[in-house]
C-alpha cells in the first residue's frame, strides 16, 4: 500500500480540484440571481464524486477491466432507454432523478474506455502489430461506434465527438500503423463536406455557419458567440471583479453556468486566471500521458490514453468555441462547468488514473530491455 501511494501521480488530483475551485467561484458569481442553486448542487456532486473516486482508486483497475463487458452492456441499455425520455432543449439525453439529472452519455465514457482497453488488449494477445489486421481494427472501432450512434440519435454531437477523439488516442497508443492514420485523415477531409450537406440536421448546420460568420445574425444564432467574445475581451488582464461582469450579470451570456462558464472567468477574473485554467489543463493532460507511458501493462496505457483524449477534447472544444475558434457543440469545460454527470465521470476517470499510477512501475528507472509503458 505504501509503495502504491508513493507512486501515485497526486498532481492529477490536485489540478482537478484546483479547476473545481475556479468553477465554484465562477458559479458563485453566475448564479447569484438564482440563490446559488446551481452552486449548491455542484458542491453536492463534488462531494459524491470524490467519494466514488476514492472507491474507484482502491479497486484494482484490472478487476474493472474484467467486468467491463458487463458495464459496457449496462451503458448501452441506458443509452437506449434515455432516447425514450422527455426532450430537454431538443435533446433526449438526461434521466431526471429527485431534482437531479443524470446523463448516461457522460457516465458511459468511463465504461466504454475500460471495455475498449479490454478488447484491444485481447486482440493483441499475439503482439501489438495484431491491431493492424483490418478485422481486428474493425472490432475495436465498432466498440465505440455503437454508443456514438446512440448518442447521435439523442442528438448530442459534442459528446459523440468526445468518444471519437478518445478512440483515436487509444488506437494511436496501441501501435496503429501510419497508413491507417493517413487513410483516416483523407477520409475525414472527403467526408466532412458530405456530412455537412446530407447528414447534419439544420440546427447543427446553423452552428457551423454561425461559427464562420457570427456577425451575419447578431441577434439570433450568432448572439452567444458575440457576447462570449465581448465578455472575454472585457476582462483584460485582471478582470472586472466578481459579481461585476457586464455580460455575466446582465444576462447576456447563456448558458453561463455550463457551455459559457469560461467567458465568466475571462470577464470577471481576467486573462491571468483564464490563462491559468488553460495551463492547468495542459499540465493535467501531460501528467495523464505520463501515466499512460509508465503504466505497468497495456490495460493501464490504453485507459489513461483514452482519458487524455476526453480531457483534451473538452478543454480544446469548450474554450475554442467560447473564443469563436471552433463551432458551438454544447461541450462543458470539465471540472469547471456546472454538471453533475460530467463531474462524476471526470472524477471516476481521476480515480482510474490514480489507480493505474499507484500500481505502475517507474519504467524510466527499470532495466534496459523492459517494454512496459512503451507505445
3-state helix, strand, coil in the chain (%, to 5): 70, 0, 25
d(CA 271, CA 260): 16
pTM of the entire predicted model: 0.89
Quick check: helix, strand or coil at residue 147? helix
Residue 232 parent element (H or E): helix 223-234
Contact 105, 159 (CB under 8 A): yes
Exposed/middle/buried for residue 251 (C-beta within 10 Å: 0-12, 13-18, 19+): exposed
d(CA 230, CA 181): 38
β-strand partners of 306? none
Contact 103, 94 (CB under 8 A): yes
Say what the alpha-carbon torsion angle 65, 71, 72, 77 is, to the nearest 10 degrees: 180
Each residue of 119-143: pLDDT tens digit? Answer: 999 999 888 888 889 999 999 999 9
The upper half-sphere exposure of residue 104, i.e. CA atoms within 13 Å in the direction of its Cβ, equals 29
- Residue 361: the pLDDT is 65
Each residue of 329-363: pLDDT tens digit? Answer: 889 999 999 988 999 999 999 999 999 998 876 54
Amino acid at each position: 500500500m505504501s509503495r502504491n501511494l508513493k507512486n501515485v501521480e497526486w498532481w492529477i488530483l490536485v489540478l482537478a480540484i484546483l479547476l473545481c475551485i475556479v468553477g465554484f467561484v465562477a458559479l458563485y458569481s453566475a448564479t447569484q440571481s438564482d440563490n446559488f442553486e446551481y452552486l449548491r448542487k455542484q458542491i453536492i456532486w463534488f462531494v459524491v464524486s470524490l467519494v466514488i473516486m476514492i472507491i474507484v482508486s482502491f479497486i484494482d483497475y484490472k478487476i474493472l477491466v474484467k467486468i467491463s463487458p458487463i458495464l459496457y452492456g449496462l451503458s448501452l441499455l441506458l443509452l437506449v432507454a434515455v432516447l425514450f425520455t422527455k426532450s430537454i432543449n431538443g435533446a433526449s439525453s438526461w434521466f431526471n432523478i429527485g431534482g437531479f439529472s443524470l446523463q448516461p452519455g457522460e457516465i458511459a465514457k468511463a465504461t466504454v474506455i475500460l471495455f475498449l482497453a479490454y478488447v484491444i488488449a485481447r486482440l493483441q494477445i499475439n503482439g501489438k502489430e495484431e491491431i493492424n489486421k483490418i478485422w481486428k481494427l474493425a472490432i475495436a472501432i465498432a466498440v465505440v461506434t455503437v454508443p456514438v450512434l446512440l448518442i447521435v440519435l439523442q442528438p448530442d454531437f459534442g459528446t459523440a465527438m468526445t468518444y471519437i477523439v478518445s478512440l483515436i488516442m487509444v488506437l494511436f497508443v496501441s501501435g496503429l500503423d501510419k497508413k491507417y492514420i493517413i487513410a483516416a485523415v483523407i477520409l475525414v477531409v472527403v467526408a466532412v463536406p458530405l456530412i455537412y450537406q446530407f447528414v447534419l440536421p439544420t440546427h447543427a448546420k446553423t452552428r457551423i455557419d454561425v461559427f464562420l460568420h457570427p456577425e451575419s445574425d447578431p441577434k439570433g444564432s450568432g448572439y452567444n458567440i458575440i457576447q462570449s467574445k465581448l465578455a472575454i475581451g472585457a476582462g483584460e488582464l485582471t478582470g472586472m471583479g466578481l459579481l461585476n461582469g457586464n455580460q455575466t450579470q446582465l444576462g447576456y451570456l447563456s448558458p453561463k453556468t455550463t457551455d459559457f462558464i469560461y467567458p465568466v472567468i475571462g470577464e470577471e477574473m481576467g486573462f491571468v486566471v483564464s490563462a491559468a485554467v488553460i495551463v492547468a489543463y495542459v499540465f493535467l493532460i501531460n501528467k495523464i500521458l505520463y501515466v499512460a507511458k509508465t503504466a505497468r501493462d497495456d490495460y493501464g496505457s490504453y485507459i489513461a490514453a483514452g482519458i487524455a483524449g476526453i480531457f483534451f477534447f473538452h478543454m480544446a472544444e469548450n474554450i475554442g468555441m467560447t473564443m469563436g475558434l471552433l463551432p458551438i457543440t454544447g461541450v462543458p469545460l470539465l471540472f469547471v462547468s456546472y454538471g453533475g454527470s460530467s463531474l462524476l465521470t471526470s472524477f471516476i476517470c481521476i480515480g482510474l488514473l490514480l489507480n493505474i499510477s499507484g500500481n505502475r512501475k517507474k519504467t524510466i528507472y527499470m532495466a534496459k530491455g523492459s517494454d512496459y509503458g512503451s507505445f
